[in-house]
Amino acid sequence: MPGVLKNALDWASRPYGKSVLIDKPVLVISVSPAFTGGVRAHAQVNETLLSIPARLVGGAQVVIGNIAEKVSDGVLDQSFLSFAMQPVDRLIELSRSATALAAIGAVR
């Protein structure tokens, strides 16, 4: 995981036990020119987010390798875009649910 991202997550995790990311839905998407798609960095980011503890979106992880072969005229191939959008849609649903629950809690 890039040091800048790790530092940003460390800062966002403070103060201990009171992070703004606690129980917030999060999604990690990694893209790489390598065939592995940045899978190790992806796992490190997930591990860090779980330790905060943010709420990782479940389901298939979006790790896209060999990205240069999957982009044409600046647009990701439709099959990969469709694959990547499924977890994004789940993230949106989780975010809306969390917002609704927070609003209900605020009313009480």
CA distances, 27 to each of 62, 68, 72, 96, 103 (Å) = 9, 22, 25, 14, 22
**How far is 48 from 23, CA to CA, in rounded Å?**
13
Q: What are 58's strand-pairing partners?
A: none
Domains in the chain (CATH in brackets) are 3-107 (3.40.50.360)
Q: Mean pLDDT in the chain? A: 87
The region, left, alpha or beta by phi > 0 then psi within -120 to 50, assigned to residue 50 is alpha
Q: How does DSSP classify residue 25?
A: E
User: Taking 70 as the threshold, does the pLDDT of residue 103 lie above it?
Assistant: no
Which pLDDT score is estimated for 69? Answer: 92
- pTM, two decimals, is 0.78
Confidence of residue 71 (pLDDT cuts 50, 70, 90): very high
Confidence (pLDDT) at 2: 85
Inform me whether the pLDDT recorded for 31 exceeds 60: yes
At 39-52, the pLDDT tens digits run 999 999 999 999 88
* pLDDT (average), residues 74-86: 90
Higher pLDDT, 49 or 102: 49
